[in-house]
């Protein structure tokens, strides 16, 4: 593909600009991009997330389909391969388009596809038989939350204890 500006050199930089519902794509060579003040090369692609996704290894990489036919975003045209290469999605619509693959990636990296919070609540503490035992368990969780300086969780636990007393 040739540069849209000079029609002479091969395009090395592909810009997608989204304004409202209008999508404009420009393909520029490095020289024309530099003339327009667009940074080219390694500074654009070296993102911490890209390195992280690359370093996660075979387990997480297998979560994303390796083939280019895995689909592309209908709004901006980004593919899963673009995400693998840069660590960035093309637009907000990409999250919905690639949701199944991103869920699997998050599950492999974090162990779950959703955020569970900082405070650990054992499954047995949900409804103990003895109300006093339940209050003691909540007090212990309150003490751990204060020690961890998790004051939001501590305030919530304090309110739960007051409601039970």
Domains of the chain, residue spans: 1-44, 47-116, 123-164
Q: Which long-range contacts (CB under 8 A, 24 or more apart) does 104-113 make?
A: 104/63, 104/64, 105/53, 105/60, 105/63, 105/64, 107/63, 108/56, 108/59, 108/60, 108/62, 108/63, 109/56, 109/60
pLDDT of 123 higher than 70: no
Q: Do 64 and 105 form a contact (C-beta atoms < 8 A)?
A: yes
Q: pLDDT tens digits, residue range 31-90? A: 888 887 776 554 444 455 555 555 554 444 445 555 545 678 888 888 888 887 777 888
Chain-centre distance for alpha carbon 78:
16
CA distance 154 to 147: 10
- pTM here? 0.35
Q: pLDDT tens digits, residue range 127-156? A: 556 778 888 888 988 988 888 888 888 899
DSSP annotation of 72: B
Note the pLDDT of residue 70: 64
Note the pLDDT of residue 62: 47
Note the pLDDT of residue 158: 92
pLDDT of 125 higher than 80: no
Q: Do 115 and 123 form a contact (C-beta atoms < 8 A)?
A: no
């Amino acid at each position: 593909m040739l540069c849209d500006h000079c029609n002479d050199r091969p395009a090395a930089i592909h810009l997608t600009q989204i304004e409202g519902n209008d999508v404009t794509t420009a393909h520029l060579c490095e020289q024309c991009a530099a003339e327009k003040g667009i940074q080219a090369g390694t500074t654009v692609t070296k993102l911490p997330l890209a390195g992280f996704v690359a370093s996660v290894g075979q387990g997480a990489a297998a979560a994303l389909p390796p083939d280019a036919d895995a689909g592309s975003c209908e709004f901006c045209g980004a593919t899963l391969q673009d995400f693998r290469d840069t660590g960035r999605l093309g637009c907000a619509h990409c999250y919905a388009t690639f949701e199944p693959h991103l869920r699997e990636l998050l599950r492999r990296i974090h162990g779950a596809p959703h955020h569970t919070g900082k405070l650990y609540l054992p499954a047995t503490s949900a409804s103990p038989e003895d109300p006093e035992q339940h209050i003691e368990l909540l007090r212990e969780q309150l003490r751990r939350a204060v020690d961890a300086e998790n004051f939001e969780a501590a305030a919530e636990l304090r309110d739960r204890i007051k409601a039970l007393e």
